[in-house]
Amino acid sequence: MLKKYGYIVVILISSLAFELTYSSKETSININEYLNGVVSFQANFKQTIFSPENDVIDYSEGFFIIKKPEKMSWNFSFPSIKKIIINDQTITTYDTDLNQAVIVPFSDKYQSSLANILLKNDSLFSYYQISSETVNNNVYSVVLVQKGDKNLFTKIKITISETFLSEINLWDTSGQSIGIKFENAILNSTIPDSSFEFSIPKGVDVFDQT
């Protein structure tokens, strides 16, 4: 269920910029080229988790950073401090409320995740297919649906406004969904590797499964 694992599954999300080609009859975009155009990205985010009835289950805010080919960080600041960091082929999840840190390998079981698709997105169409694309006043939306039944999310909607990612929505098999809005985005700036380093505080319970 997303309520329990909401801040963990959010590592599967990403951000990017793109270029559209207009014609009188159609709009064309290559999603892989779109993803490949992102070298780094950073933005504030607001994440809301919804029930199948569209009631708000959970709300959080923070700061997101990605640096290809293998670094990603979600830094939650509200309502409490949590961190999810992908670095050196490991995922570290730190939760101040639980006073614990969990370290696991970024293994093959994440191959269909959006984290992997963003960082190494050549496999995008192995797991998802385009259901629809729309363009309206410089706002582009694409809906991806899963192939098969083993992906974490059954449907993903990516919305880009004025060439920057503005929102991502994801639905799981239970009907719950995650909505993430990005603000104050910076694309392809220089981000030091130290931004993805994290020293676990003393006294925290550490579960290292690597």
Q: What pLDDT does 59 receive?
A: 97
SS3 content of the chain, % helix, strand, coil (to 5): 20, 50, 35
Give the Cα separation of 136 and 96 in Å (integer): 42
Evaluate whether 44 touches 183 at the Cβ level (below 8 Å). Answer: yes
Give the Cα separation of 186 and 59 in Å (integer): 23
- Please write the tens of the pLDDT for every residue from 164-195: 878 888 898 899 999 999 999 998 999 999 99
* CATH number assigned to the domain comprising residue 16: 2.50.20.10
Give the Cα separation of 104 and 209 in Å (integer): 5
Question: Where are the alpha helices (H) located in 10-94, listed in sequence order?
Answer: 31-36
Evaluate whether 82 touches 6 at the Cβ level (below 8 Å). Answer: no
Give the Cα separation of 125 and 206 in Å (integer): 36
Evaluate whether 186 touches 41 at the Cβ level (below 8 Å). Answer: yes
Give the Cα separation of 132 and 129 in Å (integer): 9
Containing structural domain, residue 167: 2-208
Domain count, the chain: 1
Whether residue 153 is predicted with pLDDT greater than 60 in this model: the reply is yes
Lowest mean pLDDT among 11-25, 39-53, 117-131: 11-25
Identify which has the larger pLDDT, 156 or 8. Answer: 156
Average pLDDT over residues 23-34: 51
- Please write the tens of the pLDDT for every residue from 59-113: 999 999 999 988 999 999 999 999 999 998 899 999 999 999 999 998 766 666 7
In one-letter notation, the amino acid at residue 196 is F
